[in-house]
């Protein structure tokens, strides 16, 4: 695949617009099912032992769009998968053979990067994330520099854990997703 990824700010804006439109900017995790429903997409939990299968976006034989997700995953993973699949839909990605199945092998596909960027922007909105991080840094007597940046990598483990737990409380996302978001927003 040679296509380049869309600029991240564009994806960020798409996510932001949806949150504002559905009035769930302050608690995206609680609005995700509603947003998906408003897009006329069916949400289908599936039972599978296949741990590599996270979710999929597709059309059924009646032309109904659906998002299926592996319901045995942890809640943070399910949330992120729903947002990721919604991202494929909002960003008008091409379905391969009418269906996009998620597994770890697809990570280098630009569509997958874009869907991940969308999901983290949707679940951890920029301004709110900055607010949460800034507050918690201040509790630790740490501060953003003049450009609003800080070096996450240079923090001690306890300091990192403190930021992660504040983020989890607000956004219900996984540590992995949180660290990715912090490193991209504040670098
Ligand atoms: Zn995907």
- For the chain, domains (ranges, CATH) are 8-123 (1.10.10.2910), 127-186 (no CATH)
The answer, yes or no, to whether residue 2 has pLDDT greater than 70, is no
Residue 127 is predicted with a pLDDT of 95
Residue 169 phi, psi (nearest 5)? -60, -40
Is a pLDDT exceeding 60 seen at residue 1?
Answer: no
Residue 115 pLDDT class (50, 70, 90 cuts): very high
Tens-digit pLDDT profile for residues 159-174: 999 999 999 999 999 9
The Cβ-side half-sphere exposure at 63, using a 13 Å CA radius, reads: 0
Cα of 22 vs centre of ligand 1, distance in Å, is 23
d(CA 53, CA 149): 36
Can you give the pLDDT at residue 104? 58
Look at residue 51 in the predicted model and tell me its pLDDT.
78
Q: Distance from the CA of 100 to the center of ligand 1, in angstroms?
A: 7
DSSP state letter for 146: T
CA of 158 to the centre of ligand 1 (A): 33
Of the candidates 121, 150, 156, 109, the one whose C-alpha atom is nearest the C-alpha of residue 133 is: 150
Selection from 173, 53, 175, 178 nearest residue 105 by Cα:
53
- The pLDDT assigned to 105 comes to 58
Q: How close are the terminal C-alpha atoms of the chain, in Å?
A: 28
Q: Tell me what the pLDDT averaged over the chain comes to.
A: 91
Question: Above 60 in pLDDT, residue 137?
Answer: yes
Q: Average the pLDDT over 132-155 and give the result.
A: 96
The CA distance from 83 to 141, in Å, is 34
- Confidence class for position 106, pLDDT limits 50, 70, 90: low
Residue 100 DSSP class: E
Output the pLDDT for position 96.
Answer: 67
Separation of alpha carbons 113 and 129, rounded Å: 20
With 60 as the cut, is the pLDDT of residue 26 above it?
yes
Ramachandran region, residue 39 (left: φ > 0; alpha: ψ -120 to 50; beta: rest) = alpha
pTM of the model: 0.91
Angle at CA of residue 81, ends 114 and 24, nearest 5°: 85
CB atoms within 10 A of CB 62: 5
d(CA 116, ligand 1 centre) in Å: 8
Task: Quote the pLDDT of residue 143.
Answer: 95
Average pLDDT over residues 110-120: 93
């Amino acid at each position: 695949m040679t296509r380049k990824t869309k600029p991240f700010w564009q994806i960020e804006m798409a996510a932001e617009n949806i949150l504002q439109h559905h009035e769930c900017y302050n608690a995206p995790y609680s609005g995700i099912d509603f947003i998906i429903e408003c897009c006329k997409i069916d949400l289908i939990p599936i039972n599978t032992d296949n741990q590599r299968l996270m979710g999929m976006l597709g059309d059924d034989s009646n032309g109904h769009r659906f998002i299926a997700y592996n319901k045995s995953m942890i809640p943070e993973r399910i949330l992120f998968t729903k947002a990721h699949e919604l991202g494929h839909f909002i960003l008008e990605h091409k379905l391969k053979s009418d269906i996009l199945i998620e597994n770890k092998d697809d990570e280098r596909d630009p569509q997958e990067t874009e869907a991940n960027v969308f999901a983290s922007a949707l679940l951890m909105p920029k301004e709110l994330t900055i607010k949460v991080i800034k507050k918690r840094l201040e509790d630790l007597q740490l501060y953003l520099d003049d450009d609003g940046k800080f070096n996450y990598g240079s923090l001690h483990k306890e300091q990192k854990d403190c930021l992660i737990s504040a983020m989890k409380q607000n956004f219900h996302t996984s540590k992995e997703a949180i660290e990715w978001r912090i490193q991209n927003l504040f670098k």
